[in-house]
Amino acid sequence: MLATERADPRYAGIEDLSTLDLAKTMNEADASVSAAVAAVLPEVAAAIDAVADRLAKGGRLRYVGAGTAGRMAVMDAAECPPTFSTDPDLVKAIIAGGKAAEGGAVEGTEDDAAAGEAAIAADGIGPADAVVGLAASGRTPFVVAAVREARRRGALTVGLSCNTGTVLSDAAEHRIEVEVGPEVVAGSTRLKSGTAQKFVLNMISTISMVRLGKVYRNYMVDMKVANQKLAARAVRMIREITGAGPDEAEAALAASGNHVKTAVVMLELGVDAAEAGARLERADGRLSGALAA
């Protein structure tokens, strides 16, 4: 039996615990996830380097999942455009059951291997792209078939599961197996398994974007300034990076068309928005390169 499906005797009788004791039990279980992820960080790093290389060369990143894993993938992909100003097509999620499955269960779709293959074909996945398959069990037919088809087409493939020696791992070029063990509620892989997968997704998307130059120091300098909260954050970033006063930073942000990188170059090098933009373009959008030029 898969580790993620086993009933752990430590959690027998949890219905008899007080709410506080049950919360403590779940918290203690969740605390083990970080160590499980830490154990596979070399594999995670190797996969991220390979993904970032594809993206740097103009490829796309696709997550493929079903159920909880698929919905986490949708969430992670959706955050890339506002956080890093990526093209909406750069990072996307393919979830078994399609849009209807993003907000609730669509039963049976995760078992449809043909649909997994078809989804990869429909997206035109090819050698330039990277595909990350997520399945806590490591055997979800939709995900395994999608990863196999993507690999057949020459795409970089990664299999992320929470068991060892999985079919998904065999199907992918890069295997990431986070051994979280049995869940507090047996088989409920939205718990520790879901947390582990979210940890790894955070690393894949964020570190890939760092490698693409979309982060300067630890600032999200490529974010979209889409509301008052983000405008305030942008001004704060500009001030902290350049040492400018609030009025000067706000003026530079406005003159830059709400583009933090451009505003920083303007203030640091004493140039106008057009010249700042040109310097960033010559530096492939990397703020550090534009400031050093």
Domains and CATH numbers, the chain: 3-212 (3.40.50.10490), 228-292 (1.10.8.1080)
Asked if 221 and 287 touch (Cβ cutoff 8 Å), the reply is yes
Which pLDDT value is given to residue 115? 96
Which pLDDT value is given to residue 252? 97
Q: What is the pTM of this model?
A: 0.94
Count CB atoms within 10 A of the CB of residue 69: 32
The token pair that represents 118 in the structure block: 């078809």
Which pLDDT value is given to residue 105? 74
Which pLDDT value is given to residue 37? 98
Q: What is the CA radius of gyration of the chain?
A: 22
> Which residue ranges in the chain fall short of pLDDT 70?
none
Q: Catalytic residues, which ones?
A: 79, 110
Instruction: List C-alpha distances in Å: 239 to 219, 253, 270.
Output: 12, 11, 15
How far apart CA 198 and CA 173 sit, in angstroms, is 21
CA end-to-end span of the chain: 58
How far apart CA 95 and CA 140 sit, in angstroms, is 12
- Residues β-bridged to residue 130: 61, 156
Which pLDDT value is given to residue 103? 79
Which pLDDT value is given to residue 101? 82
Which pLDDT value is given to residue 20? 98
